[in-house]
Structure 1
Amino acid sequence: MLSRMLLVFLSLSLFSSASSLSCRWMDHKFRQHSHNSLDLIERMAHNSTKTTEDVEVNFPHHLYSQASKASAEDKLRFTIQILEEMAALFEKDHSNASWEEITVDHFLIVVTQQADGLHSCVKSHGHKKQNKKLRMYFKRLSHIMEQMGHSAESWELIRKEMKTHLMRADQLASSLLTT
């Protein structure tokens, strides 16, 4: 846990100093990190022995539709928020999940690096404008996990939801690529 926090702080330091690079990170590293995060979350599925119950989560498609019509900076902020909320979810007790710990650790590192890299593309680093509806959605996911006792089934449900988020966030951010 401490090593992850140290990695996050080091990444933040590096990327905040690189913010004058415009969007070089987006043009050169985004696709690689996006591919890696999707690959890692898919690997978790291969290690999973559980299926999910019929729990209604209500994926926020409408929020992605709104974000797709927003400015480039707002699209990036939305994508960053998704990645940060996702990382926070995966920091919770996942000991009941059937995934390999090293895969989850690598996934968290890649998602955190991706969020940090996207931060370098956001021009105004002042007030962090967050989408309240997206925040409430992730709180609801956390509550569902608690109700299900952080079981393997709840983690498989979360993994599937996060895979969909990664694919949608990739589409949203890819629309901003210049190369």
Structure 2
Amino acid sequence: MISRIFIACLFLGMYSTGSSLSCKWIVKHPGNTKSQFSLYNKIALDFLDMMITNTTKDAEIEHNVAFPNRLYRQTSKATAEDKLAFTVQILKELLALFEEDHSSASWEENTVENFLNIVDKQTEELRSCIGSHSNTTQKGQQLSFRREKYFKRLLNKILKKNGYSAEAWEKIRNITQAHLRQCEFLISLRTAH
């Protein structure tokens, strides 16, 4: 009987090592008020604050791409694994947006590179939290489809339609800040359970 319990505990321990439940990147450590993800997220937001593009109020662009609040609400009710997978995908989509021509934004290239490196680090660390045994649910796949569609609209209706202008990039920068804040919220929900 004891050997069965030992084997069960051993199996559970081996299983949880790759599990998001034991991921050190998203867990608050004793004495710290924030997880590693939260600390890196704050740094990414700080870099975005440094990247403000000088635009005039009159030159503000119009667009009809609403922020996907509903998508985030639906994801907040998803499984812990789907929340992590969704967050990883959001970060990857943001990285892809910033690979577009941002020369008209007049950002310091060093600041942009630092921002991208931080977001890439978050992406990789969160991806390692998901583990290879993770299977996304049907709900997770639906969320993924809607997310991809949203980011294509951002690219086409804000950046391309406005010729990658400084105003378009300022809009993307603001939207990116909102996404990073929402990702932080999802991760905090994930670790609260």
TM-score normalised by L of structure 1: 0.81
- Deviation digits for residues 74-117 of structure 1 (CA, Å, limit 9, x no counterpart): 00011111000000000111111121111111110000100111
Offset, 1:125? 5.7
d(CA) in 1 for partners of 2:18, 2:95: 22
d(CA) in 2 for partners of 1:98, 1:57: 24
Mapping of residues 30-69 of structure 1, within 5 Å: 30-45=37-52, 48-51=53-56, 52-69=60-77
Offset, 1:55? 2.0
Which of 149, 152, 155 matches 1:139? 152
Structure of larger gyration radius: 2
- Deviation digits for residues 26-78 of structure 1 (CA, Å, limit 9, x no counterpart): 12411111111111111112xx1015323222111100000000010000011
Q: Percent identity, aligned pairs only?
A: 44
Which consecutive segments of 4 or more residues in structure 1 shift more than 4 A?
A: 18-21, 125-130
d(CA) in 2 for partners of 1:59, 1:19: 33
Aligned residues: 160
Q: Which residue of 2 aligns with 1:86?
A: 94
Equivalent residue letter for 2:187: A
Flag structure 1 segments of 5+ consecutive residues without an equivalent: 1-17
d(CA) in 2 for partners of 1:90, 1:127: 29
Q: Which residue of 1 aligns with 2:120?
A: 112
Equivalent residue letter for 2:73: S
Flag structure 2 segments of 5+ consecutive residues without an equivalent: 1-16, 28-34
d(CA) in 1 for partners of 2:55, 2:184: 27
Given that residues 18 and 132 in structure 2 are in contact (C-alpha distance below 8 angstroms), is that contact kept between their aligned partners in structure 1? Answer: no
Matched, 1:176 2:181: no
Given that residues 25 and 120 in structure 1 are in contact (C-alpha distance below 8 angstroms), is that contact kept between their aligned partners in structure 2? Answer: no
Q: Which residue of 2 aligns with 1:150?
A: 164
Structure number with greater CO (CA < 8 Å, separation at least 6) is 1
Matched, 1:96 2:86: no
- The Cα RMSD (Å) is 2.2
